[in-house]
Amino acid sequence: MEQRALALNEAFGAADVVARLTGAAATAHGRLVFTTSFGLEDQVLTHFIIAAGLPVEIVTLDTDRLFPEVHALWKETEAHFGARILPFYPRHDAVEGFVSAHGLNGFYTSREARKACCDIRKVEPLGRALAGADIWITGLRADQSAARGGVRFAEAEAARGLIKLSPLLDWSRDRTLAFAKANGVPLNPLHEKGFVSIGCQPCTRAIRPGEHERAGRWWWEDDAAKECGLHVGPDGKLTRAKPASLGASA
């Protein structure tokens, strides 16, 4: 699997987004799954996937704590692209157990409680969404945070038995936003109110001038490498592919 990721990076690391997506899709041995949270990057990737007519399943993780604006954008996105976006929800018994033990907003009390909530509402549903998938497409960008700086186009996810792709890894936020506006891609109105990175409503705030774009996520935790666990391996670190050549895409 590492060799496959290396080959994809060598073949498409310097390509544009469309070539990355179509080239990788041609190597797939099974399901291709794109997980969207309806953020800026995910909306742009939805545009590329639909425009290219790729056989990709588009899914989302509905944590039951999302902003109303996210649900509205979900509906708008399906109508705009003529695509069905399949939801995966947390298990009711797991949510019930967490709330009974920690309270409705118990994730504020400790990092361990917050991670437990993320595991229940995001990580476990993601596992079901990716079951049997061969390729997982994500909207990660390398400059979103210091922890994501080493992200590569293709990475081997041995624990899940698949290849993870980040076709927008070398795009800046400004470039992504400009593309979205130029192509009429539906966007969350919260972005205009300072909500740059949007997760669950209780765990997201607008960022202040000069703050990094992910500073509004779990803002009460003093850690630059804050992650929910979707892109984190068993060692607690972001999953990484072995180094491979990567040029600048068009």
CATH at 147: 3.40.50.620
Residue 176 has pLDDT above 60, yes or no: yes
Number of domains in the chain: 1
Quote the percentage of the chain above a pLDDT of 90: 82
Q: Closest Cα partner for 171 from 156, 153, 158?
A: 153
The verdict on whether residue 200 carries a ligand-binding annotation is: yes
Which whole-number Å values give the CA distances from 176 to 141, 158, 170, 183, in the listed order? 10, 30, 10, 11
User: For all residues of the chain together, what is the average pLDDT?
Assistant: 90
103-112, 168-177, 212-221: least confidently modelled range: 212-221
The verdict on whether residue 203 carries a ligand-binding annotation is: yes
Sorting pLDDT into bands at 50, 70 and 90, what band is 238? very low
Sorting pLDDT into bands at 50, 70 and 90, what band is 150? confident
For 134, the token pair is 């061969």
Residue 239: CB partners within 8 Å, gap ≥ 6?
155, 157, 164, 231, 232, 233
pLDDT of residue 149: 56
pLDDT of residue 244: 33
Specify the higher pLDDT residue, 226 or 94: 94
202-216, 219-233, 236-250: least confidently modelled range: 236-250
Residue 236 lies in a domain: no
pLDDT of residue 223: 64
Q: 41: exposed, middle or buried (C-beta count within 10 Å: 0-12, 13-18, 19+)?
A: buried
The average pLDDT across 123-143 equals 96
Residue 209 lies in a domain: no
Residue 213: CB partners within 8 Å, gap ≥ 6?
144, 145, 173, 196, 197, 207
Residue 49 lies in a domain: yes
Whether residue 13 lies in the annotated active site = no
119 in Cβ contact with 79 (< 8 Å): no
User: What span, in angstroms and rounded, lies between the C-alpha atoms of 236 and 209?
Assistant: 30
pTM for the whole structure: 0.87
Q: Which H, E and C letters describe the chain, residue by residue? A: CHHHHHHHHHHHCCCCHHHHHHHHHCCCCCEEEEECCCCHHHHHHHHHHHHHCCCEEEEEECCCCCCHHHHHHHHHHHHHHCCCCEEECCCHHHHHHHHHHHCCCHHHCCHHHHHHHHHHHHHHHHHHHHCCEEEEECCCCHHHCHHHCCCCCEEEECCCCEEEECCCCCCCHHHHHHHHHHCCCCCCHHHHHCCCCCCCHHHECCCCCCCCCCCCECCCCCCCCCCCCCCECCCCCECCCCCCCCCCCC
Residue 41 lies in a domain: yes
Residue 232 lies in a domain: no
Residue 234 has pLDDT above 50, yes or no: no
Residue 229 lies in a domain: no
Sorting pLDDT into bands at 50, 70 and 90, what band is 235? very low
Residue 81 lies in a domain: yes
Given the residues 15, 120, 228, 238, select the one marked as catalytic: 228
Sorting pLDDT into bands at 50, 70 and 90, what band is 145? low
pLDDT of residue 245: 33
Sorting pLDDT into bands at 50, 70 and 90, what band is 146? low
Residue 128 has pLDDT above 70, yes or no: yes
- Model pLDDT for residues 31-46, shown as the tens digit of each residue: 999 999 999 999 999 9
Host domain of residue 68? 2-203
Residue 70 lies in a domain: yes
- Model pLDDT for residues 181-217, shown as the tens digit of each residue: 999 999 999 999 999 999 999 999 999 999 988 899 9
